[in-house]
Structure 1
Amino acid sequence: MRAFLALILLTLSLPALADPYDELYRSAGWAEQRAHFGDALDAAQTRYRNTLPPAIYEALVRNSDSRFAPAAMDQRAISTLRQALADPQPALAFYQSPLGRKIVAAETKATTQAELLRHANGLPTLQAGSNRELLIRHLAQALPITEAGAEVSLALAGMAADSLSQMLPGVLGGAQADGLLQEQRQRLMQQMAGEVDNTLLYVYRDLSDPELEEYVQFAQSDAGQAYYRAALQALRAALNPPQG
């Protein structure tokens, strides 16, 4: 009887578990990374506490808590993945593989608050053989690392500006603000570009050369490129709710 009831419950649960986009979101570590972003957001809010007037600080916290509400961020990201990625199965299969799980574990460990504090003054410089250096360079070219890093940095740095703009509307016109944002995005990407290889060497330091080569093969494949293009769109959507 218990087995029969369990079978019924499993059957009823299948529709919720069968969505490959939800599965991909979980398997690729998005939920953990969003939680780590929340930790970084809390830390940034704390830093602003003693540097902004109380009214602006209160507006900052209120606006950022609304903009970066976890459930809404998850929803925007998954919805964008669904729209931008025609076939999630190849990426899902990769991230559910032993190598994919190892990669996600390395990535999520690297963005914990403890790790970020530990390396606040920069990552150690790692030495690698020529083959591994080449694999890392190929991986850096295949992944949208600088673009994603710039988006996260802009989101955290833009909290105070968003709050000031709300209290003093019209300080910056839309076109002027967009132009400044694009300039800052390009500047951040240029700064990050010189650090990408060492960052990837450090994050994936526990991957063997054959594992790293398999990762590069996926990242360079049509399916991998389709996923990473969609992932960058999903990240932007998660960090930037529609205006209106």
Structure 2
Amino acid sequence: MRAWILAPLLWLLTLPAWADARMTVLVDLLELQEAAVILSDEGLSHAETLNQEMLGGQGGPGWQMQVESIHDAGRMVEMVRRALEETMTPDEVETAIAFYSADLGSRIVALENAGRAAIADREVELIARANYGVLAGDHDPRIALVRRLIDAANMIDRNVSTALNSNFQFLRGMRDGGALEDSDEDLLADIGTDLDAVTEDTSVWVHAYMLLAYHPLSDAEIEDYATFAETDAGRALNRGLFDGFGKAYEDISYALGRAAALNMVDERL
């Protein structure tokens, strides 16, 4: 009887390790490290713009070291992983693994990362936006397929929320670094005035990016992807990805704002 009791308990003790291993499989299939490096590179480019516009191009090696530390891809992946662990059930993880371990899922991940890296180039982004405008004007059926994906993940609202929260955190960082004196209420009011413009721009960008990324896929393949995105597993996965990357962007934005402010204050002194 004692052996019969211990066996299930020992099996239960292995569950966290098994779940951790399966999440590692999913993180690898999603190529989150590659995605985080692409996003970090975007952040470094943005930081150079801040250097030119806010620091007069005088940030130097110290600024570069700060922004490289702030845009740590490994830390970003860990934040996303934790969000996925909190959001997805074991069954949902297995469903996602099954989808992304297949040929279509693997190609989708590669296309999404390649598309994100490509659209970081301003000229490519403008072409992608123009292409979306043409297809939308012609009522191209591919637009409807892409919108299924957008709606399943609530991409517009979640991206807008991430953008506004990140802007707020950047301004908080600047205030805490001594460059601003506004209250949280003042900062929120200022950011709120951008809501409509940010929503419109985000909608165009998301459509443009997805049309660019999924261009090599057939309509049937995009429809299969949309069908997965509309499942409980697909929705939980996207919720976890947005939660994780959103939190990472907020932390990065706050740290970047504070670093910029401290450098600005040092220059004044």
TM-score greater than 0.5 by the shorter chain: yes
Change in 2 beyond 3 A, CA 1:97/1:122: same
Identity %: 17
Q: What is residue 83 of structure 1 aligned with on the other side?
A: 86
Please say if residues 84 and 244 of structure 2, whose CA atoms lie closer than 8 Å, have aligned partners that are also in contact: yes
Which of 87, 100, 105 is 2:105 aligned to? 100
Gaps in structure 2 of 5+ consecutive residues? 1-16, 255-269
Q: 2:57 matched to 1:72?
A: no
Q: Which of the residues 188, 197, 200 maps onto 2:198? A: 188
The match for 1:221 among 225, 231, 254 is 231
- Give the secondary structure class of the aligned counterpart of 1:121: helix
Of the three residues 239, 245, 266, the one matched with 1:235 is 245
1:205 is paired with a residue of what secondary structure? coil
Deviation at 1:228, TM superposition (A): 1.1
**Corresponding position of 2:131:** 125
Answer yes or no: is the 8 Å Cα contact 1:68–1:239 preserved in 2. no
Residue deviations 1:24-68, cap 9 Å, x none? 222113211110111111211222223223699478656644443
TM-score by length of 2: 0.69
RMSD of aligned residue pairs (Cα, Å): 3.6
Instruction: State how many pairs are aligned.
Output: 230
- Give the distance between the partners of 2:20 and 2:46, measured in 1 at CA: 37
Higher-helix-fraction structure: 2
1:134-189 deviation per Cα after TM superposition (whole angstroms, max 9, x unaligned)? 32222221134334544675688679745532331761223333444455466423
Q: How far off is 1:72 after superposition? A: 1.9
Which of 27, 30, 38 does residue 29 from structure 2 map onto?
27
Higher mean C-alpha displacement, 71-80 vs 151-160 = 151-160
Structure 2 SS opposite 1:50? helix
Length-normalised TM-score, structure 1: 0.75
- Cα offset, 1:129, TM superposition: 7.7
Which has the higher mean CA deviation after the structures are superposed, 214-223 or 55-64? Answer: 55-64
Q: How big is the shift at 1:222?
A: 1.8
1:60–1:163 CA contact under 8 A, matched in 2? no
CA distance in 1 between partners of 2:105 and 2:141 (Å): 21
- Partner-residue secondary structure (3-state), 2:97: helix
Larger Rg: 2
Q: CA deviation at 1:219?
A: 0.8
